């Protein structure tokens, strides 16, 4: 299990503490549906590993075998420190390109979709980033080992968790050197003067050096989200909507260079032969469909059960066949999508929920008979617990989803 996965319980505890603090000071920054959406995306970003599509892993393994200098010089604390600083420097450029190139924004956009800013937003990660590793290749030319790279990358990412909060204000001198909550609030803001600023991961000095730093202003409150709001809780659509839009523009425009430019120009850029349809619309404030308490309870339990199943899969992924991993990932993805339909008060969610449960049981029975390793894994206390939990979800679904009154507009 990776360092990030080990940190998950501490992330969740910190989120609970922030929620309680928000209630105490009467400044709550959490919305149930938004937070569930962020946590779903965070889980999916980890579960994508079940698909075993890691082209990056193969490239890195080859580079490490050729350029491993640590076997000659060792890994002293000084080398680790140099690697850590260099990693953050390269992260700055990766992050900056993630906002300036549409091919990278298509992945990174998932992290910016939330219209709230809290610790759950930090866990809102993309599941489609297959290009970012290219920016870190220079580290492997310098001889970093794969274990050192993974550890440094994990520490860098874990550091960025705490800066996603509105409750910690300015921190004086630290704001000049490190990425702090104040600096990172600016990064997530959609205000014109804040847009595309403060890209550092740990050190804000890169932004100061390369002209992308902007200080948070006391008289300019940050507005969060993306310029064209998603207005949807579906984690699958959250991961692919910019990819779909970019592919559509690529097909519509004429000329080879126009088609190539779509991918490497700013996300707001539109080819000359296509009318600009990206004009912002008045959305009437944040996307907040009203959801009954019972629906929230249902989704909360269902999300917890699905996520426990996902964590169980991650812990046992080396024992699963490719087929079992793929089908299990599909079950989790479909389950999360159905939860989002409940939060959006889709009138057909009851029908789809019944189809989902049937779908889960068919896949489960198929894998029990076709995959010996899977069958052995589920014959554990945790396996029976998950089955019992799905039965509980079915009971709650019958109680909650057939209550049509909750779908009436408030």
Q: Which of 271, 166, 172 is nearest to 223 (CA)?
A: 166
| 134-148, 242-256, 297-311, 389-403: the lowest-pLDDT one | 389-403
Domain boundary residue, one of 177, 210, 243: 210
Residue 196 and residue 298 in one domain: no
Spell out the SS3 assignment of the chain.
CCHHHHHHHHHHHHHHHHHHHHHHCCCCCCCHHHHHHHHHHHHHHHHHHHHCCCHHHHHHHHHHHHHCCHHHHCCCHHHHHHHHHHHHHHHHHHHHHHHHCHHHHHHHHHHHCCCCCCHHHHCCCCCCCCCHHHHHHHHHHCCCCHHHHHHHHHHHHHHCCCCCCCCCCCCCCHHHHECCHHHHHHHHECCCCCCCCCCCCCECHHHHHHCCCCCCCCCCCCCECCCCCCCCCCHHHHHHHHHHHHHHHHHHCCCHHHHHHHHHCCCCCCCCCCCCCCCCCCCCCCCCCCCCHHHHHHHHHHHHHHHHHHHHHHHCHHHCCHHHHHHHHHHHHHHHHHHHHHHCCCCCHHHHHHHHHHHHHHHHHHHHHHCHHHHHHHCCHHHHHHHHHHHHHHHHHHHHHCCHHHHCCC
- Domain of residue 124 covers 3-210
The answer on pLDDT for 281 being more than 80 is no
* Residue 228 lies inside a defined structural domain of this protein: no
The pLDDT assigned to 404 comes to 47
Residue 200 and residue 297 in one domain: no
The answer on pLDDT for 375 being more than 80 is no
Residue 200 and residue 302 in one domain: no
404 vs 262, residue with greater confidence: 262
* Residue 229 lies inside a defined structural domain of this protein: no
pTM of the full predicted structure? Answer: 0.85
CA 292 to chain centre: 26
Residue 188 and residue 305 in one domain: no
Domain boundary residue, one of 189, 210, 231: 210
Burial of 291 (0-12, 13-18, 19+ CB in 10 A): buried
Q: Count CB atoms within 10 A of the CB of residue 53.
A: 10
* Residue 271 lies inside a defined structural domain of this protein: no
The pLDDT assigned to 357 comes to 77
The pLDDT assigned to 348 comes to 79
* Residue 112 lies inside a defined structural domain of this protein: yes
Residue 182 and residue 309 in one domain: no
How far apart CA 355 and CA 38 sit, in angstroms, is 25
**Alpha-carbon distances of 104 from 190, 218, 243, 279, 393, rounded to whole Å:** 18, 32, 10, 21, 38
Domain boundary residue, one of 181, 210, 239: 210
Residue 48 and residue 171 in one domain: yes
On whether the CB atoms of residues 195 and 189 are closer than 8 A, the answer is: yes
The pLDDT assigned to 159 comes to 96
How far apart CA 225 and CA 18 sit, in angstroms, is 20
58: its two tokens: 């193969």
The answer on pLDDT for 132 being more than 80 is yes
- Region of 11 on the Ramachandran plot (φ > 0 left; ψ -120 to 50 alpha; else beta): alpha
Q: Which of 191, 179, 284, 296 is nearest to 233 (CA)?
A: 296
The answer on pLDDT for 259 being more than 60 is yes
The answer on pLDDT for 243 being more than 90 is yes
On whether the CB atoms of residues 114 and 38 are closer than 8 A, the answer is: yes
Question: pLDDT digit string (tens) for 14-41?
Answer: 999 999 999 999 999 999 999 999 999 9
114: its two tokens: 């939330």
How far apart CA 394 and CA 61 sit, in angstroms, is 45
On whether the CB atoms of residues 180 and 161 are closer than 8 A, the answer is: no
- The values of phi and psi at residue 253, to 5°, are -75, 155
Torsion (CA) 155, 171, 184, 10 in degrees, nearest 10: 40
* Residue 241 lies inside a defined structural domain of this protein: no
The pLDDT assigned to 257 comes to 87
How far apart CA 212 and CA 95 sit, in angstroms, is 12
Residue 108 and residue 206 in one domain: yes
How far apart CA 33 and CA 36 sit, in angstroms, is 5
How far apart CA 277 and CA 192 sit, in angstroms, is 19
The pLDDT assigned to 170 comes to 93
* Residue 244 lies inside a defined structural domain of this protein: no
The pLDDT assigned to 405 comes to 46
The answer on pLDDT for 73 being more than 90 is no
Residue 206 and residue 297 in one domain: no
* Residue 255 lies inside a defined structural domain of this protein: no
Residue 312 and residue 200 in one domain: no
User: How many domains, the chain?
Assistant: 2
The answer on pLDDT for 227 being more than 60 is yes
* Residue 247 lies inside a defined structural domain of this protein: no
How far apart CA 123 and CA 164 sit, in angstroms, is 10
């Amino acid at each position: 299990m990776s360092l990030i996965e080990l940190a998950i319980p501490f992330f969740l505890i910190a989120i609970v503490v922030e929620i309680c603090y928000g209630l105490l000071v009467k400044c709550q920054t959490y919305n149930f549906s938004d937070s569930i959406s962020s946590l779903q995306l965070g889980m999916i970003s980890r579960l994508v590993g079940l698909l075993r599509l890691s082209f990056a892993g193969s490239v890195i393994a080859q580079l490490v075998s050729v350029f491993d200098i640590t076997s000659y010089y060792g890994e002293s604390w000084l080398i680790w420190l140099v690697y850590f600083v260099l990693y953050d420097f390269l992260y700055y450029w990766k992050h900056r390109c993630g906002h300036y190139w549409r091919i990278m924004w298509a992945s990174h956009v998932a992290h910016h979709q939330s219209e709230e800013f809290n610790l759950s937003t930090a866990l809102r990660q993309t599941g489609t980033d297959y290009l970012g590793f290219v920016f870190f290749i220079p580290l492997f030319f310098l001889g970093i080992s794969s274990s050192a790279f993974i550890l440094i990358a994990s520490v860098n990412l874990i550091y960025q968790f705490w800066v996603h909060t509105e409750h910690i204000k300015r921190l004086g001198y630290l704001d000049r050197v490190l990425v702090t909550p104040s600096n990172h609030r600016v990064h997530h803001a959609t205000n014109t003067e804040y847009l595309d600023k403060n890209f550092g991961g740990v050190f804000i000095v890169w932004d100061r050096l390369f002209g992308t730093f902007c200080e948070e202003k006391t008289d300019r409150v940050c507005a969060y989200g993306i310029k064209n709001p998603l207005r949807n809780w579906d984690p699958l659509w959250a991961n692919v909507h910019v990819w779909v839009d970019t592919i559509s523009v690529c097909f519509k425009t004429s000329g080879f260079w126009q088609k190539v430019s779509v991918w490497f120009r700013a996300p707001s850029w539109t080819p000359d032969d296509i009318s600009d349809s990206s004009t912002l619309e008045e959305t009437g404030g944040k996307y907040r469909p009203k959801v009954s308490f019972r629906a929230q309870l249902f989704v909360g339990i269902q999300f917890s059960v699905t996520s426990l199943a996902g964590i169980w899969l991650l812990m046992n992924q080396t024992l699963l066949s490719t087929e079992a991993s793929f089908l299990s990932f599909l079950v989790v993805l479909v389950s999360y999508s159905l939860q989002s339909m409940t939060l959006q008060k889709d009138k057909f969610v009851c029908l789809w929920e019944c189809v989902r449960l049937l779908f889960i049981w068919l896949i489960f029975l198929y894998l029990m008979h076709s995959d010996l390793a899977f069958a052995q894994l589920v014959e554990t206390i945790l396996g029976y617990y998950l089955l019992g939990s799905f039965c509980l979800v079915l009971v709650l679904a019958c109680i909650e989803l057939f209550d049509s009154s909750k779908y009436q507009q408030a």
